[in-house]
């Protein structure tokens, strides 16, 4: 009898399984292991925007006011808009050295640093042989600039000069001007001479100031120290001196000022306030200065504020207020000082600070040894932030004692003067160990949560005071810019989306910020050269339906250490012509809780996206190394894409990235396909 072989039973086929995730805007989570965070969270990202259940590459920025070619003098620290009740307005920009007012007609930031106008260069100067003088409408301030054509026959000496009535500049310290040469000029080949003799003579007190190297055809802002400024109390002329024969060339000059540059550095935060149609500013170093928007005149020392400085200014209870006061060189870090009812006179008077109703108080009883680092309006009150305390300032209405003060929170405070955002009914601020929200009362709310440990691990403790916060209304997010342990100025930021309550991060080197709203929409005449400008002569990259062309369009401005200004621009995918490297990573995916002893066969990645292109790669070692990126070309509509691969590992992480100039991407869903593994091969 022949035995029939037994039929071998078939092993069940292992089916591919899938994990789908819709809604990718949960943001960063550093609070847990990368395998334990939520499916919608990320352990790492840079330059992305999280909102509406999607993750997208962040938008870019463009240059503002031509500061790419003519940068401002110093590190940009503060930007504010000066409004007058007449409807007039000026955008104000402050660097560590100078103050500027924006001319929206010419798109130029004009220097208004405290000082004296020496020569406005609106008309021709007197010239010597082989030099001709003219004016041109290519200027840096006013309507014209001086243009000197120096012929080859001119060798050295005074090329041109301007005489004027006796001018006292003994209280100033620098000569500030703009200059442009048609040829390259080495440092020292040209000099500016100030003299107490006509025609640039040397028979009386004079000084030659060395002009730095000039690039051909480019305006350069120059500010030169006067060697003995106190000697010039009867200045009679300013002149251009040729020291080295450069041959034939054309030299343009504009806006010669004798100024008092701001002292201090990036630690000296600049503040400003508007009261009674006057713009007041301080960097915590005396004196207070003000500007009333009168023509092209520079800022002035505030009468009564000659010996005053402050870390914060405000308006409350019909008075102008200083917080953390500097008075005649002495610092009073707990002092609050206020004017009479009605605030500052126009122009300011010394009696504003001395007449009945004015006064000051030191907050030792409510702050202890703490000192004031900031103050913001909250509802009908003011909130004073110390380094380790929060104090409520209340208006009593009494003439002799108009304010009362109460300690609200102890042990929590503000390490960075600009590290706070005022949302009207809520303050969000950087603390020493977290990011907090304060809405009044005795408690603060912690917001840092998932990024807190990472933030305080990488922020530079020695420069935490240089951090600053910005509210970006268009994307409903707050950005905290901070210096890392490798930097002295902010180079990175964390962003907090107020709607999704999610955190992301980015890489941008900014030192100051502010907002600007155009009070009038540009017209055909202002965009073009005049009413006769043709369509073909208009800027070809102009987006005529762009919201930034509308009146009152909000513009977010950021300053750099090199004197540049960047304007947030939702229509560009680059930062001033440089590609944005925007990426987002998934969590480390595992197939089971026994992942450390199980190998999974990862097979497939599906995702829904739109945009230009996207590089996809994966890592099986928690982001230490990555597979060779695979590029997918996207379309402008939401489309499902598939990426097939083969990886055997306990875990896997995916990265979505684009670092191409002018390109972007956006994604809202991913699906991972895998075959569950076994413990074979695991030692």
How far apart, in whole angstroms, are the C-alpha atoms of residue 139 and residue 252?
A: 9
How far apart, in whole angstroms, are the C-alpha atoms of residue 489 and residue 560?
A: 10
Per DSSP, what are the bridge partners of residue 391? 384, 407
Taking 3-state DSSP, the helix, strand and coil percentages for the chain, each rounded to the nearest 5, stand at 5, 45, 45
pLDDT given for residue 527 in this prediction: 53
C-alpha triplet 27, 568, 91: angle, nearest 5°: 135
Pairing of strands 108-111, 99-103: antiparallel
Q: How many residues does the chain have?
A: 683
Long-range CB contacts (within 8 A, 24+) of 313-317? 313/271, 313/272, 313/273, 313/280, 313/282, 314/273, 314/375, 314/377, 314/382, 315/273, 315/275, 315/343, 316/377, 316/382, 316/393, 316/395, 316/403, 317/395, 317/397, 317/402, 317/403
Q: Is the pLDDT of residue 538 over 70?
A: no
How far apart, in whole angstroms, are the C-alpha atoms of residue 610 and residue 591?
A: 29
Q: Is the pLDDT of residue 158 over 70?
A: yes
Beta strands in 123-171 (DSSP E): 126-127, 131-136, 145-150, 157-167
Dihedral angle sign, alpha carbons of residues 164, 166, 168, 169: positive
User: 381: Cβ–Cβ under 8 A, 6 or more apart, which residues?
Assistant: 392, 393, 394, 395, 440
How far apart, in whole angstroms, are the C-alpha atoms of residue 294 and residue 624?
A: 60
3-state secondary structure at position 77? strand
pLDDT given for residue 521 in this prediction: 56
Q: How far, CA to CA in Å, does 507 sit from each of 45, 439, 515?
A: 11, 30, 20
* Tokens 């798109």, residue located: 107
Write the secondary structure of 564-618 as one string of H (helix), E (strand) and C (coil).
Answer: CEEEEECCCCEECCEECCEEEECCCEECCCCHHHCCEEEEEEEEEEEECEEEEEE
User: 253: Cβ–Cβ under 8 A, 6 or more apart, which residues?
Assistant: 121, 145, 146, 148, 177, 178, 179, 240
**167: which 2 tokens?**
């001018």
Per DSSP, what are the bridge partners of residue 641? 607
Mean predicted confidence (pLDDT) in 321-347: 96
Dihedral angle sign, alpha carbons of residues 132, 137, 140, 141: positive
pLDDT band at 1 (very low <50, low <70, confident <90, very high): very low
Q: Are the C-beta atoms of 209 and 195 separated by less than 8 Å? A: no
- Radius of gyration of the chain, Cα coordinates, nearest whole angstrom: 31
The full set of domains in the chain, from first to last, is 17-58+580-675 (2.60.120.260), 115-259 (2.60.120.260), 271-450 (2.110.10)
Sheet holding 477-482, edge to edge: 468-472, 477-482, 492-497, 502-506
Q: Are the C-beta atoms of 31 and 450 separated by less than 8 Å? A: yes
How far apart, in whole angstroms, are the C-alpha atoms of residue 300 and residue 373?
A: 26
pLDDT digits (tens, 9 = 90+) for 27-36: 999 999 999 9
Lowest mean pLDDT among 88-92, 300-304, 525-529, 578-582: 525-529
**444: which 2 tokens?**
């603060």
Lowest mean pLDDT among 12-26, 133-147, 166-180, 519-533: 519-533
How far apart, in whole angstroms, are the C-alpha atoms of residue 403 and residue 5?
A: 101
| Residue 658, H or E segment | strand 651-658
Mean predicted confidence (pLDDT) in 80-101: 96
Mean predicted confidence (pLDDT) in 211-227: 98
Dihedral angle sign, alpha carbons of residues 669, 583, 600, 606: positive
Per DSSP, what are the bridge partners of residue 605? 643, 672
3-state secondary structure at position 323? strand
Mean pLDDT, the chain, integer: 92
pLDDT given for residue 137 in this prediction: 96
pLDDT given for residue 232 in this prediction: 97
The percent of residues above 70 in pLDDT, for the chain, comes to 91
Mean predicted confidence (pLDDT) in 88-104: 96
- The one-character DSSP state at 569 is E
Dihedral angle sign, alpha carbons of residues 641, 646, 651, 656: negative
pLDDT given for residue 2 in this prediction: 47
Write the secondary structure of 397-447 as one string of H (helix), E (strand) and C (coil).
Answer: CCCCCCEEEEEEEECCCCCCCECEEECCCCEEEECCCCEEEECCCCCCEEC
Q: Is the pLDDT of residue 8 over 70?
A: no
Pairing of strands 41-42, 27-28: parallel
pLDDT given for residue 680 in this prediction: 47
pLDDT digits (tens, 9 = 90+) for 38-80: 999 999 999 999 999 999 999 999 999 999 999 999 999 999 9
């Amino acid at each position: 009898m022949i035995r029939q072989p037994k039929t071998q039973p078939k092993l069940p086929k292992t089916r591919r399984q899938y994990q789908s995730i819709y809604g990718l805007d949960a943001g960063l989570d550093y609070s847990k292991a990368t395998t334990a965070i939520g499916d919608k969270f990320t352990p790492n990202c840079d330059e992305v925007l999280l909102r509406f259940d999607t993750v997208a590459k962040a938008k870019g920025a463009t240059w503002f006011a031509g500061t790419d070619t003519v940068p401002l003098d110093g590190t940009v620290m503060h930007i504010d808009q000066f409004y007058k009740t007449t409807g007039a307005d000026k955008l104000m920009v402050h660097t560590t050295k100078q103050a500027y007012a924006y001319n929206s007609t010419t798109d130029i930031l004009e220097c208004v640093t405290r000082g004296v106008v020496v020569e406005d260069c609106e008309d021709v100067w007197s010239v010597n042989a082989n030099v001709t003088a003219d004016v041109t409408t290519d200027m840096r301030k006013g309507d014209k600039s001086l243009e000197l054509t120096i012929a080859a026959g001119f060798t050295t000496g005074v090329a041109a000069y301007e005489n004027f009535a006796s001018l006292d500049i003994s209280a100033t310290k620098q000569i500030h001007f703009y200059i442009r040469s048609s040829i390259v000029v080495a440092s020292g080949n040209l000099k500016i001479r100030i003299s107490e003799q006509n025609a640039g003579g040397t028979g009386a007190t004079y000084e030659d100031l060395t002009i730095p190297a000039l690039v051909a055809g480019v305006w350069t802002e120059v500010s030169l120290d006067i060697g003995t400024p106190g000697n010039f109390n009867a200045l009679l002329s300013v002149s251009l001196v040729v020291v080295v024969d450069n041959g034939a060339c054309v030299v343009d000059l504009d806006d010669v000022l004798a100024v008092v540059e701001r002292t201090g550095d990036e630690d000296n935060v600049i503040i400003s306030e508007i009261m009674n149609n006057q713009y007041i500013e301080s960097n915590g170093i005396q004196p207070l200065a003000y500007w009333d928007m009168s023509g092209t005149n520079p800022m002035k020392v505030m009468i009564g504020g000659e010996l005053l400085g402050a870390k914060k200014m405000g308006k409350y209870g019909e008075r102008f207020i200083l917080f953390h006061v500097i008075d005649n060189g002495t610092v009073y870090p707990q002092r609050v000082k206020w004017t009479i009812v009605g605030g500052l006179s126009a122009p300011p008077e010394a009696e504003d600070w001395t007449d009945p109703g004015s006064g000051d108080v030191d907050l030792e009883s409510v702050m202890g040894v703490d000192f004031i680092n900031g103050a913001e309006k909250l509802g009908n009150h003011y909130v004073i932030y110390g380094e380790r305390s929060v104090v409520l300032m209340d208006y009593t209405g009494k003439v002799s004692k108009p304010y009362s003060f109460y300690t609200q929170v102890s042990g929590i405070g503000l390490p960075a003067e600009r590290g706070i955002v005022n949302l009207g009914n809520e303050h969000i601020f950087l603390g020493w160990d977290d990011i907090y929200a304060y809405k009044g009362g005795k408690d603060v709310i912690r917001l840092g949560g998932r990024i807190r440990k990472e933030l305080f691990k990488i922020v530079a403790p020695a420069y935490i005071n240089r951090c600053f916060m910005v509210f970006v209304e268009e994307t409903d997010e707050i950005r905290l810019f901070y210096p890392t342990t490798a930097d002295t100025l902010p180079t990175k930021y964390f962003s907090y989306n107020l709607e999704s309550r999610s955190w992301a991060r980015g890489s941008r080197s900014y030192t100051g910020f502010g907002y600007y709203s155009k009070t009038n929409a540009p017209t055909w005449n202002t965009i073009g050269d005049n009413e006769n400008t043709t369509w073909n002569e208009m800027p070809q990259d102009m987006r005529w339906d762009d919201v930034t062309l509308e009146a009152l369009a909000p513009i977010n401005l950021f300053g750099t250490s090199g004197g540049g200004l960047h304007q947030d621009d939702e229509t560009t995918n680059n930062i001033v012509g440089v590609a944005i490297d925007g990426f987002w990573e998934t969590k480390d995916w595992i197939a089971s809780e026994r992942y450390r002893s199980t190998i999974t066969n990862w097979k497939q990645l599906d995702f829904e996206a739109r945009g230009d292109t996207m590089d996809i790669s994966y890592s099986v070692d928690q982001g230490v190394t990555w597979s060779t990126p695979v590029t997918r070309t996207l379309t402008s509509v939401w489309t499902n894409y598939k990426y097939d691969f083969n990886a055997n590992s306990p875990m896997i992480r995916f990265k979505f990235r684009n670092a191409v100039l002018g390109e972007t991407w956006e994604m809202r869903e991913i699906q991972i396909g895998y075959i569950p593994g076994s413990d074979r091969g695991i030692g």
